Amino acid sequence: MKISLEQKIVSSLRWGIIFGFLAGTAHGIIKLCDENYLSQHLLRLTFRNMAVSIIQGVLAGAAVFLILFLFFFFLTWVWKKCVLNYFQITVTPIKKTDSLWKAVFPSLLGLYGLIETIRFITGASSDTKLYLLKISALLIAVLLAVRLFPKDFSSFRKSISNKLTGKPIRRAPVILLVLTAAFFLVQQAEWILFPPKGPNVIFILADALRADHLGCYGYPRPTSSHIDAFADKGIVFERMMSNSPWTKPSVASLFTSLLPHEHGVQNWVADLDSKNLTLAEAFRNRKYTTAGFHANPIISSRHNFQQGFETYQELPLNECDKIADTFLGWLSEHKNKTFFAYLHFMDNHLPYDPPEEILGILEPEGTLSSMTGRNIAFTMRMMTVIGLSAEDRQHLINLYDAELIDFDRQFQKILASVERYGIADNTIIVLTADHGEELWDHGGFEHGHSVYNELLHVPMIIKGPQLPAKRISPFVQMLDVFPSLMALTGKPIPPGLRGKDFTGLLLDDKNNDRDIIAEATLYDVQKNALIKNGWKLIHNTGIFFEDTFLSLGDMTSFFSPEPEESYELYDLRTDFQEKNNLILKQPDIVRILKNRFQLILSPLYHHSVQKKEKKSEDKIREKKLKDLKSLGYIK
């Protein structure tokens, strides 16, 4: 019985749907296990991701099988028309005694070429290529093994083939399609018919923004007029502290409400583990539309920071001024939805390169300084050690403040758009920073190298519907943001978060008995800090963690002695700038805080290594250098 072309196409689609359904289901299960959704009670997100994986698998399977059929149909047609008409070719089946490489080698070579072509077209990574090659090689090995079985196996193989081509297998694709469509439509209907309740959230983070350079935090220069007006109508947390003095662990703590040694993002090349529940995932599970816009490569999708975001867009560093415009373009299309949006600005991060007209506000007569915002961080840190004139230092501070003025204008653009779209009465807007910036407060420059307050003290201003205008004086920390936003939007706080909901401070701000922790420095020896009841203990460990970025520390080590373990103690109630070390004058306080340190951070010290004891592998180093170059740290 001759099979028509239409029947062959239908048969290809049938098998594609079956394999696609199985592959999509397997992919969904693997992804859910990897992301730990069920144990975190993210049921909506579990069903939604499973539905998406299955429908994508079905569509991809049908498309792949159809394309393969058409490809081989075309090859067969070419073979018959262009080869058999001119040549007489006899095909001899492979015998069991033939060398396997005669069949395997050409197949693998052709398959490798196909995979290289797919990788070139899709931009897949070499890891993906290797994975596909391994799977394909395994499939070929299985097919060859079946082909080379003894003849007495042929009857068994025929019976299996007959069963597979019987009526049940013909009905299977229809059943699977109906189940997939029903599963997907029911899940979609739940999200559409029962939209999320609660306010929108626009979370704005300004990278490397010191709190004390804002007017609402006491800075005398006119750097933040729009932010100051926003603060007058919102909640200002006067002592918000970051959990790390550089971006990657700090943002990871913001996203997960865990300390750096708990979420594992402690060094330059670490990725955010999928098992960690993120702030965006929590909102997404509540059916919020989620979007992120940033220009910092170390929190990119490559490092797995996109978890929970439907849209996660990275702009080049030299286009970071387009963050606001990119977000507002997205907002114009999603303003009628309930959303959580994360915006990560890079204006105050090196390289400082503010518009000339803004710099002219702070330097009306110009400057003769040789230092510019385009100097990379390495040059500035080295010049700090060698010696910078007072004029050079002031010029860099002017550049930093000019960048802040530019960001202040971008911030106002967002506020104006929220008002224009009529969603201000149903939107919580949060402004904060991941860390500060040292401007020679303790003899250093930039960030990542210490745990003094110029790097840990960041702004935190929240304005939203029915929230009072108030200033909160007790210490809070970055990992408190996750549970607090859940509370402010009327959502239950997920279990397992280390942070505390600070909304209770709106009613009673006398409680100051919180453990504020900072750790995971980027440069030089590891430094940790504990703030409790107004006292701050700094532990200079004298050790390096694996894969700590050492180069800047190594260069400056020529100018300073070998680091040793030591402690510092400061009374932040009277000495917030940490100029008076009381380590020898308050032994009882030191003993109490040391015991508390060991209780909280004991897992951290088990993973430490001595200086230069272990070096990174070449692949890790390349990954690190790519991020460093994109951020302007090195050329």
Residue 629 forms part of a structural domain: no
Taking the CA of residue 351 as centre, how many other CA atoms within 13 Å lie in the half-sphere pointing to its CB?
Answer: 21
- Backbone Cα Rg of the chain: 30
Q: Which residues contact 56 (CB under 8 A, 6 or more apart)?
A: 24
Segment 610-623 mean pLDDT: 47
Whether residues 356 and 495 fall in one domain? yes
Q: For the residues of 130-160, what is the DSSP string, one character each?
A: HHHHHHHHHHHHHHHHHHTS-GGGHHHHHHH
Q: Which residue did the predictor score with more confidence, 583 or 557?
A: 583
Question: In terms of domains, do 188 and 263 share one?
Answer: no
Q: Residues with Cβ < 8 Å from 73, sequence gap 6 or more? A: 5, 8
User: Residue type at 66?
Assistant: L
Give the chain's domain count. 2
Residue 253: the pLDDT is: 97
Last residue of a domain, one of 508, 523, 542: 508
pLDDT-derived band at 225 (thresholds 50, 70, 90) equals very high
Q: Is residue 141 part of a domain?
A: no
Same domain, 311 and 171: no
Is residue 213 located within the same domain as residue 169?
Answer: no
Is 464 in the same domain as 402?
A: yes
Contacts of 176-180 spanning 24+ positions with Cβ under 8 A: 176/17, 176/18, 176/21, 176/58, 177/17, 177/58, 180/21, 180/54, 180/55, 180/58
In terms of Cα–Cα distance, which of 255, 243, 264 is closest to 604?
264
Structure tokens given for 565: 């373990």
Mean pLDDT on 440-450: 89
Report whether 608 contacts 526 (CB < 8 A): yes
Mean pLDDT calculated for residue range 565-585: 95
pLDDT at 85 over 80: no
* Cα torsion 469, 473, 479, 480: sign: negative
Report whether pLDDT(618) > 60. no
Tokens of 345: 């600005």
Residue with tokens 């999708």: 301
pLDDT-derived band at 203 (thresholds 50, 70, 90) equals very high
Distance, in Å, from the CA atom of 9 to the CA atom of 70, rounded to the nearest integer, reads: 8
Residues 426 and 490 grouped into a single domain: yes
* 187 and 209 share one domain: no
The answer to whether residue 99 sits within a structural domain is: no
Whether the per-residue pLDDT at 609 is higher than 50: the answer is no
Mean pLDDT for 465-484 is 94
Alpha carbon of 228 to those of 23, 419, 425: distances in Å?
54, 17, 20
Digit-coded pLDDT (tens) for 301-325: 999 999 999 999 999 876 767 899 9
- Nearest 5°: the CA angle 486, 48, 202 is 35
The total number of residues shown for the chain amounts to 635
Q: Which residues pair with 545 in a beta bridge?
A: 608
Out of 508, 537, 553, pick the residue that ends a domain: 508
Q: Which residues pair with 471 in a beta bridge?
A: 236
Spatial distance between the Cα atoms of 404 and 610, rounded to a whole number of angstroms: 39
Task: pLDDT band for 614, please (50, 70, 90 cuts).
Answer: very low
Q: What is the pLDDT of residues 279-291, one digit of tens each?
A: 999 999 898 999 9
Residue 486 lies in a domain: yes
Q: Hey, which of 229-238, 489-498, 501-510 has the most confident mean pLDDT? A: 229-238
In this structure, are 217 and 264 located in the same domain? yes
Phi-psi region of 587 (alpha: psi -120 to 50; beta: other; left: phi over 0): alpha
Alpha-carbon gap, residue 241 to 237, rounded angstroms: 10
What is the pLDDT averaged over residues 401-426?
95
Residue the block writes with tokens 């105050």: 348
Please name the amino acid found at residue 8.
K
CA distance 509 to 155: 81
412-416, 520-524, 582-586: least confident range: 520-524
Share of the chain above pLDDT 70, in %: 70
Q: Is 47 within a domain?
A: yes
* Residue 410, amino acid: Q
Per-residue model confidence (pLDDT) at position 476: 95
Average pLDDT over residues 456-465: 97
Q: Say if residue 312 is in the same domain as residue 395.
A: yes
- Strand 445-446, strand 438-439: pairing: antiparallel
- The CATH number of the domain holding residue 292 is 3.40.720.10
Position 353 pLDDT exceeds 60: yes
Per-residue pLDDT at 140: 54
Query: From CA 247, how far away is CA 296, in angstroms rounded?
Result: 9
Mean pLDDT of 402-420: 95
Q: What is the pLDDT of residues 89-115, one digit of tens each?
A: 555 555 544 544 455 555 555 555 555
φ, ψ dihedrals at 537, nearest 5°: -110, 125
Residue 607 — very low, low, confident or very high, per pLDDT cuts 50/70/90? very low
Average pLDDT (581-609) is 80
Among 508, 526, 553, identify where a domain stops. 508
What is the average per-residue pLDDT within 352-380?
72
Same domain (yes/no): 459, 342? yes
| DSSP H or E segment with residue 263 | helix 260-263
Q: Which residues span the domain enclosing 325?
A: 200-508
Flag whether the pTM goes above 0.75. Answer: yes
Can you list the positions of beta strands (E) in 464-588? 470-477, 516-518, 527-532, 535-540, 544-545, 566-571
SS3 of residue 596 by DSSP: helix
Helix or strand run (H / E) with residue 420: helix 390-420
- Angle at Cα 5 formed by Cα 73 and Cα 77, nearest 5°? 30
Mean pLDDT of the 401-415 span: 95
* Of the listed ranges 260-269, 501-510, 542-551, 614-623, the one predicted with least confidence: 614-623
Instruction: Decide: 581 and 537 in contact? Cβ < 8 Å.
Output: no
pLDDT averaged over every residue in the chain? 79
Query: Left (φ > 0), alpha (ψ -120 to 50) or beta: where does 202 sit?
Result: beta
Higher pLDDT, 557 or 456: 456
- For the ranges 153-157, 528-532, 599-603, the one whose mean pLDDT is highest: 528-532
For the ranges 109-123, 189-203, 404-418, 500-514, the maximum mean pLDDT occurs at 404-418
pLDDT of residue 123: 47
CA distances from 463 to 233, 279, 471, 617 (A): 7, 19, 12, 46
| Of 1-5, 49-53, 136-140, highest mean pLDDT | 49-53
Whole-number Å distance between alpha carbons of 557 and 309: 42
478 alpha-carbon distance from chain centroid: 16
More confident residue, 311 or 40: 311
Rounded CA-CA distance 547/609 in Å is: 9
Overall average pLDDT of the 505-531 stretch: 84
Instruction: Indicate whether 228 belongs to any domain.
Output: yes
What are the Cα distances from residue 281, in Å, to 198, 303, 308, 340? 16, 16, 4, 10
CB count, 10 Å around CB of 521? 30
CA distance 296 to 303: 11
Whether 96 maps to a domain, the answer reads no
Helices H / strands E in the chain, number of each: 19, 17
**Is 2 a residue whose pLDDT tops 80?**
no
- CA angle, corner 487, sides to 483 and 488, nearest 5? 115
Neighbours of 493 (CB within 10 A): 17
Q: Say if residue 267 is in the same domain as residue 169.
A: no
| Beta strand pairing call for 235-241 and 457-458 | antiparallel
Provide mean pLDDT across the span 245-254: 96
Residue with tokens 């539309």: 289
Q: How confident is the model at residue 479 (pLDDT cuts 50, 70, 90)?
A: very high
Q: Do 240 and 387 share a domain, yes or no?
A: yes
CB 206 within 8 A of CB 418: no
User: How confident is the model over 73-85, as a mean pLDDT?
Assistant: 71
pLDDT of residue 505: 87
Looking at the domain assignment, is residue 115 inside a domain?
Answer: no
182-191, 217-226, 474-483, 508-517: the lowest-pLDDT one: 182-191
CB 227 within 8 A of CB 216: yes
